[in-house]
């Protein structure tokens, strides 16, 4: 064995990492955008399942309100026709109660359409391209539509359309049944009326004359029928079974003209100022700040910010000279 020792070599100085303050501030955000296709598919599947669960929950609430209306109408008619001495004015009172149920269901229907529209857009824009890539037209507008809806959520249909849809599908027939039942009750009990004057006399409720009750009933039911017909052309909702060419991601664009107040700002913007949400101001600091959900950058600012972040990442990955 040789007794000579190899010449000593100096170890290179350990490179110290750059301080945290000098690192790119948006590394986490850029890393989240650079996910693999499998991770993106997994995220979309879980997102789809969540939106389906939300839409099912609100659909159940819609059915609950309809059940209340049907049960109260059936109970009222059973009470009114069970005895000749039972008053007939319980039927108009029940009509007012059914109107309240209609307004409640219309409000729930607007919330249901938020989740239902997202589900339909994912099905037509994402799953259709996976199942039939040759037949489906590649289009990324559905992703931009979903991103805008997630950043600034709002109703996709107006209150008028929601009331008109629920009225035509369920409540119009309940109101028609109550109107016919009231006329039949006044005509039959306690014995069939001889003429129209006797019919009007029986329609009296306390100090309110019978002709006033009859006129109010005619105006009420006529207004319901006119409203149901007048809202047929309102078709902002995507629906559950509409093909893509019939809604084509238009609700978010057309709803802006319907949801304006006197100040020119959207109703959702005015409400959002009252209900602020906490979002992260930076990935490194982890601090929270209160912002308005309407303070969202436009697409050009988002693209320029994304390009700047990518350039910073490329510069940080270059070897030092």
Query: pLDDT tens digits, residue range 275-302?
Result: 544 444 444 444 444 444 444 445 566 6
Among 30-34, 56-60, 100-104, 295-299, name the one with the lowest average pLDDT.
295-299
Percent of the chain with pLDDT over 70: 62
The answer as to whether 319 is a domain residue is no
Which residues span the domain enclosing 57? 36-259
Query: Are 43 and 157 within one domain?
Result: yes
Tokens representing 114 are: 């938020």
Phi/psi of residue 239, each to 5°? Answer: 75, 175
Average pLDDT over residues 245-251: 51
Q: By the 8 A CB rule, do 276 and 291 touch?
A: yes
pLDDT score for 177? 95
> ∠ at Cα 51 (46, 53), nearest 5°?
95
Query: Are 137 and 285 within one domain?
Result: no
The answer as to whether 165 is a domain residue is yes
**CA gap 154, 256 in Å, rounded:** 10
Tokens representing 127 are: 């799953």
More confident residue, 266 or 104: 104
Query: Are 209 and 80 within one domain?
Result: yes
**CA gap 202, 193 in Å, rounded:** 9
Output the CA–CA distances (angstroms, integers) from residue 267 to 152, 158, 251, 258, in the order listed.
Answer: 12, 11, 15, 9
Tokens 């436009």, residue located: 298
- Torsion-angle region of 305 (φ positive above 0: left; ψ -120 to 50: alpha; else: beta): alpha
pLDDT per residue as tens digits for the range 77-86: 999 999 888 9
Q: How confident is the model at residue 36 (pLDDT cuts 50, 70, 90)?
A: confident
Q: What is the tally of structural domains in the chain?
A: 2
Nearest to 109 by CA among 154, 54, 59, 53: 59
pLDDT score for 286? 44
DSSP-derived letter for residue 170 is I
pTM: 0.64
Query: Are 230 and 289 within one domain?
Result: no
Q: How confident is the model at residue 164 (pLDDT cuts 50, 70, 90)?
A: very high
Phi/psi of residue 211, each to 5°? Answer: -65, -35
Query: Are 282 and 229 within one domain?
Result: no
pLDDT score for 277? 46
Nearest to 93 by CA among 191, 208, 228, 226: 208
- DSSP-based three-state secondary structure for 161: helix
**CA gap 313, 27 in Å, rounded:** 7
The answer as to whether 306 is a domain residue is no
Q: How confident is the model at residue 239 (pLDDT cuts 50, 70, 90)?
A: low
């Amino acid at each position: 064995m040789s007794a000579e020792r190899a010449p000593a070599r100096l170890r290179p100085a350990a490179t110290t990492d750059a301080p945290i303050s000098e690192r790119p501030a948006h590394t986490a955000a850029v890393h989240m955008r650079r996910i693999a296709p499998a991770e993106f598919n997994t995220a979309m599947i879980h997102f789809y399942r969540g939106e389906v669960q939300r839409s099912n929950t609100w659909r159940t609430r819609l059915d609950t309100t309809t059940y209340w209306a049907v049960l109260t109408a059936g109970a009222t008619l059973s009470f009114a026709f069970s005895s000749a001495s039972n008053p007939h004015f319980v039927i108009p009172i029940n009509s007012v109660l059914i109107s309240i149920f209609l307004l409640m269901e219309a409000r729930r229907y607007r919330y249901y359409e938020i989740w239902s529209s997202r589900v339909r857009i994912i099905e037509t824009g994402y799953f259709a391209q996976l199942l039939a890539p040759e037949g489906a037209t590649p289009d990324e507008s559905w992703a931009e539509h979903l991103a805008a809806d997630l950043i600034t959520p709002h109703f996709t249909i107006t209150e008028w359309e929601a009331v008109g849809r629920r009225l035509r599908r369920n409540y119009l027939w309940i109101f028609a049944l109550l109107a016919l039942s009231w006329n039949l009750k006044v005509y039959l009990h306690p014995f069939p009326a001889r003429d129209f004057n006797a019919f009007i006399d029986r329609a009296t409720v306390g100090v309110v004359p019978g002709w006033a009750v009859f006129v109010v009933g005619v105006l009420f039911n006529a207004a319901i029928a006119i409203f149901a017909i007048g809202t047929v052309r309102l078709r902002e909702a995507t629906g559950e079974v509409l093909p893509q060419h019939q809604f084509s991601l238009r609700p978010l664009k057309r709803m802006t003209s319907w949801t304006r107040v006197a100040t020119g700002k959207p109703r959702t913007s005015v409400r959002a100022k009252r209900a602020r949400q906490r979002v992260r101001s930076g990935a490194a600091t982890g601090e929270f700040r209160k912002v308005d959900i309407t303070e969202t950058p436009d697409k050009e600012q988002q693209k320029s910010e994304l390009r700047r972040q990518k350039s910073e990442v490329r510069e940080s990955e270059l070897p030092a000279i």
